[in-house]
Structure 1
Amino acid sequence: MKKTLALCSLGLAMALPVSAADYEFDKAHTNIQFGVSHNGLSNFLGQFQDFSGQFDINEEDLTQSSFDVVIKTASVDTDVPALDDHLKNEDFFDVTKYPEMRFKSERIVQVAGDKYEVEGQLTMLDKTLPVTLDARLNFQGRHPLADFFPAYDTQYLGFSATTSIRRTAFGMMTYAPMLADQVNITLEAELKRTP
């Protein structure tokens, strides 16, 4: 009887889902960048400075995690103030009408080892389209500097991710095709578990 109860308890424990932990961006160590070919002369780079995210991380099986990232479009930063102003107007991000971009994950697939594909929906300029991130898990565990800096004494995730989108698919038509349609996006992120 005891053996039967033990087996039942074990089976129940294995059937219960592992609870997810809440994580957030360590913003000081996270960059959201974009690059676009500038008339074939160079690959022009920029980034967004204001963003946030909600991350439900299953620490035992990352494929069961989910996240929702919001980017403030007015935070676009190319190091060229006049260009930033142009990117904010109706020709590009139209930040007054569309102050946010959003990516919500729908499915995470472990491709091999530390390689993952993150499928989700990107909303920009009020249009939502499927986007897949190619991601690499760089680190998972207690922060390596936790013994030296108490602020780091929690669990961390570090990952790199890339994807490409066609801006015209979202309705951003200005200067196409002279200014390239393809926009390459790079995310270098560190996440920390919230208390």
Structure 2
Amino acid sequence: MLRLVILLCLLAATPFSLHAESLGALEGRYKVAPSSVIHFSVAQMGGQAIEGRFKSFSGQFVLGGEDASRSSVQFSLSPGSVEAVDPRVEEFIKSEAVFDVATYPKVSFRSTAVKRTGDDTAVITGRLTAKGLTRDTKFSIRYEGKSGGGLKFHVTGKMSRALFNMDVGTPVYSNMVVLDMELIGKRD
């Protein structure tokens, strides 16, 4: 599930033709604002999905102007900051069976490539580290304009829980974690 949070970092680093402004004008370093939202869900067979969000995270990204290959993202989150409707779900997500926050208090992501896919979209690939394991990860990003004094991005991705030894409860609970993030980047 932490893999989902790392995906947020990826979308913050996307260089697009940003509507009315040129990419050159937006080139620079940005920090991920605390007002950003990192949401996740895991489908459940015959029941309601497990959903939640992570409240503690930090990140930064560089927009490389017209040259997307010069863009980059770094992001980390605390899986111990998970918030769900049911406190029992929160405790389970923090447990050894899932994130094991006592041993691995941080999930991190570092981009390895940014590829523009459209006027306001990109794909970010990188290395996600959770529960002591590092795996290649990919996120889709869409620039949504300015918001709250910063740049707003919608980031999505899917991650396999099994790749990070977090697949407890499958097949009742899906192996796939769906990440849906709204990231706000403020100039650093």
TM-score (norm 1): 0.78
Pick the structure with greater CA Rg. Answer: 1
1:92-107 to structure 2, matched below 5 A, reads: 92-107=98-113
1:137 and 1:180 map into 2 onto residues whose CA distance is 29
1:28-47 correspondence to structure 2 within 5 Å = 28=35, 30-47=36-53
Corresponding residue for residue 87 of structure 1: 93
User: Number of matched residues?
Assistant: 164
Out of 57, 75, 86, the position equivalent to 2:81 is: 75
- Listed as ranges, the gaps of 5+ residues in structure 2 are 1-24
Q: Does 1:24 align with 2:31?
A: yes
Give the TM-score normalised by the residue count of structure 2.
Answer: 0.80
Distance 2:86 2:72 in 1: 35
| Residue-by-residue CA offset, 1:2-23 (whole Å, 9 max, x unaligned) | xxxxxxxxxxxxxxxx9x6221
1:44 deviates by: 2.2
Q: Aligned equivalents of 1:63 and 1:135: distance in 2? A: 15
Look up the SS of the partner of 1:84 in the other structure: helix
Q: Does 1:166 align with 2:172?
A: no
Matched, 1:191 2:168: no
Determine the structure 1 residue equivalent to 2:115.
109
**1:60 Cα deviation from its structure 2 partner:** 4.2
% identical equivalent positions? 28
Choose from 152, 173, 182 the match for 1:179. Answer: 173
More relative contact order, 1 or 2 (CA 8 Å, 6+ apart)? 2
Q: Does residue 132 of the first structure (1) align with residue 138 of the second (2)?
A: yes
Gaps of 5+ in 1: 1-17, 146-151
Post-superposition shift, 1:71? 0.6
CA RMSD of aligned residues (A): 2.0
User: Following the alignment from structure 1 to structure 2, what is the Cα–Cα distance between the partners of residues 171 and 88?
Assistant: 14
Distance 2:137 2:46 in 1: 25
